[in-house]
């Protein structure tokens, strides 16, 4: 077979989770919660299955769920989005990303991404013949040099992919960042894919800046979200894309022949749950407590914790502990110290060694306490 992705291997998340299992290590690598999902939400899924919601959903998604998403956007950002023409329910954020790229990218198009970048971005672009133009962000602050973005734009630039709050850098962009981007894209024909799956997980009083809130961005944006992050249910693989009507129409043309529609009883259950509970308001405090517990607990260890502004990840520096590469050290830590993490070198397309590991803190308190105990002994 002439591989379409010759340089792509099994994802680092699958690799590290498998290594964790093999060595019975505490798995802080792949990003997922290890505490139970809401019992009310699970009961609602059962109830909708019993009531007979077991057949295909409408292609763009169940209307009650699209209405609740519109309600949430209005509640959080004070903006009106039309559930009929602007919201499409997808199989997780991943399918929304992939479908957006499939909708836009033609062979030879250039797509700007910021590295460290979420692992699905590059292969998805390359599958459609796009050329990735990476802009490297470096520790410690991972901020964007907007001059560099201006310089990277060419007449072939089709799309910019932004991830805010960003995985794995745990960086939250400021209003000035979004305004800069708005100025860059205004009057251009470049689209924006704004991956906002961690929109509700921002810390220390920060406000998430959605691309939806910036008119010159909104008119050219596909904004991606994930119920996995919102409801602590990554295994349900449900998410959505918000885009202006004309862009949503094209997105749905691809979506209907990719999956057609996604899980009906779960869509209905989430709609009812969101209507009854506005729990997304509690997420910053919920995760900030976990972030602070872990950060405090690692004080006095040989690791240095980098501040996490958002997402449920933080970065740990092992500078001063070892000269091993990130991948080697991540293996060492899993096999010999019982804690699995992700080397952030895996999120760069060119070699980049910063002695940084990503660690997921969406875990119950016992697991975080165990992590502290194990990492303090390194
Ligand atoms: N984008 C980013 C930045 C992510 O971290 C994730 C999930 N880890 C996704 C997209 C995919 O979301 P989902 O699990 O809903 O497919
Ligand atoms: N998004 C999760 C992470 O960043 C993993 C998702 C996956 O395994 N594909 O860890």
For residue 127, the SS3 value is: helix
Which residue's alpha carbon is nearest to atom 4 within ligand 2?
31
pLDDT in tens, 30-78: 999 999 999 999 999 999 999 999 999 999 999 999 999 999 999 999 9
Q: Is 165 in the pocket of ligand 1 (CB under 6 A)?
A: no
User: Distance between CA atoms of 74 and 70, rounded to whole angstroms?
Assistant: 6
Closest-lying ligand 2 atom to the alpha carbon of residue 168: 4
Question: In this model, does residue 278 exceed pLDDT 90?
Answer: no
Instruction: State residue 23's pLDDT score.
Output: 98
Q: 229 C-alpha vs ligand 1 centroid, how far in Å?
A: 8
Q: What percent of the chain has pLDDT over 90?
A: 97
Closest among 312, 279, 280 to 293, alpha carbons compared: 312
CATH number of 39-279: 3.40.640.10
Contact 241, 99 (CB under 8 A): yes
Kindly compute the dihedral angle of the four CA atoms of residues 337, 342, 343, 349, in this order, to the nearest 10 degrees.
160
Which residue's alpha carbon is nearest to atom 8 within ligand 2?
13
Q: Which of 101, 118, 231, 259 to mutate to test the pocket of ligand 1 (most atoms within 8 A of CB)?
A: 118
User: Distance between CA atoms of 29 and 13, rounded to whole angstroms?
Assistant: 7
pTM assigned to the model: 0.98
pLDDT in tens, 303-327: 999 999 999 999 999 998 999 999 9
Instruction: State residue 46's pLDDT score.
Output: 98
Q: 277 C-alpha vs ligand 1 centroid, how far in Å?
A: 23
Q: Do domains 12-36+281-376 and 39-279 have the same CATH topology?
A: no
Contact 290, 297 (CB under 8 A): no
Q: 163 C-alpha vs ligand 2 centroid, how far in Å?
A: 14
CB-based burial, 125-145: b 16+ in 10 Å, e otherwise: bbebebebbbbebeeeebebe
State the DSSP code for 119. T
Which residue's alpha carbon is nearest to atom 8 within ligand 1?
31
User: Distance between CA atoms of 84 and 58, rounded to whole angstroms?
Assistant: 11
Supply the mean pLDDT for the chain: 97
Question: In this model, does residue 150 exceed pLDDT 90?
Answer: yes
Q: 79 C-alpha vs ligand 2 centroid, how far in Å?
A: 29
Instruction: State residue 315's pLDDT score.
Output: 97
Instruction: State residue 279's pLDDT score.
Output: 85
Closest among 286, 161, 250, 283 to 211, alpha carbons compared: 161
Q: Is 197 in the pocket of ligand 1 (CB under 6 A)?
A: yes
Closest-lying ligand 1 atom to the alpha carbon of residue 227: 15
User: Distance between CA atoms of 153 and 8, rounded to whole angstroms?
Assistant: 26
Which residue's alpha carbon is nearest to atom 2 within ligand 2?
31
Q: What percent of the chain has pLDDT over 70?
A: 100
Closest among 12, 7, 8, 6 to 341, alpha carbons compared: 12
Place of tokens 């199989």: 91
Instruction: State residue 252's pLDDT score.
Output: 98
The ipTM estimated for the assembled molecules is 0.98
Contact 61, 261 (CB under 8 A): yes
Residues enclosing ligand 2, CB less than 6 A?
11, 13, 30-31, 167
* Topology of domain 12-36+281-376, CATH: 3.90.1150
Instruction: State residue 140's pLDDT score.
Output: 87
Domain positions in the chain: 12-36+281-376, 39-279
Q: 52 C-alpha vs ligand 2 centroid, how far in Å?
A: 32
At 139, the pLDDT band (50, 70, 90 cuts) reads confident
Question: In this model, does residue 111 exceed pLDDT 90?
Answer: yes
Question: In this model, does residue 290 exceed pLDDT 90?
Answer: yes
State the DSSP code for 85. T
């Amino acid at each position: 077979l002439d591989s379409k992705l010759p340089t792509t291997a099994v994802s680092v998340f699958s690799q590290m989770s498998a290594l964790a299992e093999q060595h019975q290590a505490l798995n802080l690598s792949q990003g997922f919660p290890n505490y139970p999902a809401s019992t009310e939400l699970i009961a609602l899924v059962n109830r909708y299955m019993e009531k007979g919601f077991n057949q295909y959903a409408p292609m763009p998604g169940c209307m009650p769920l699209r209405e609740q998403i519109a309600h949430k956007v209005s509640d959080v950002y004070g903006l009106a989005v039309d559930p009929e023409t602007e919201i499409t329910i997808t199989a997780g954020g991943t399918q929304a990303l992939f479908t957006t790229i499939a909708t836009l990218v033609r062979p030879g198009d250039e797509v700007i991404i910021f590295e460290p970048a979420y692992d699905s971005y590059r292969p998805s672009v390359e599958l459609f013949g796009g050329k990735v133009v990476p802009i490297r962000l470096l520790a410690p602050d991972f901020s964007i040099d907007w001059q560099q973005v201006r310089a990277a734009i060419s007449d072939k630039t089709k799309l910019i992919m932004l991830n805010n709050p960003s995985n794995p850098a745990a960086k939250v962009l400021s209003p000035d960042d979004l305004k800069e981007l708005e100025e860059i894209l205004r009057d251009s024909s470049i689209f924006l894919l704004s991956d906002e799956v961690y929109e509700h997980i921002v810390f220390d009083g920060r406000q998430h800046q959605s691309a939806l809130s910036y008119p010159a961005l909104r008119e050219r944006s596909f904004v991606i979200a994930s119920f996995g992050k919102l409801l602590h249910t990554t295994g349900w693989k449900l998410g959505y894309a918000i885009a202006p009507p004309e862009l949503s129409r094209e997105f749905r043309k691809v979506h209907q022949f990719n999956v057609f529609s996604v899980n009906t009883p779960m869509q209905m259950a989430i709609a009812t749950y969101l209507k009854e509970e506005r729990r997304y308001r509690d997420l910053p405090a919920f995760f900030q407590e976990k972030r602070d517990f872990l950060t405090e607990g690692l004080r006095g260890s040989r690791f240095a914790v980098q501040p996490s502004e958002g997402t449920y990840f933080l970065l740990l520096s092992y500078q001063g502990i070892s000269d091993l590469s990130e991948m080697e050290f991540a293996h060492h830590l899993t096999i010999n110290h019982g804690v699995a993490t992700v080397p952030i070198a895996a999120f760069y397309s060119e070699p980049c060694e910063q002695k940084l590991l990503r660690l997921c803190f969406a875990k119950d308190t016992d697991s975080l306490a165990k992590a502290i105990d194990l990492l303090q002994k390194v």
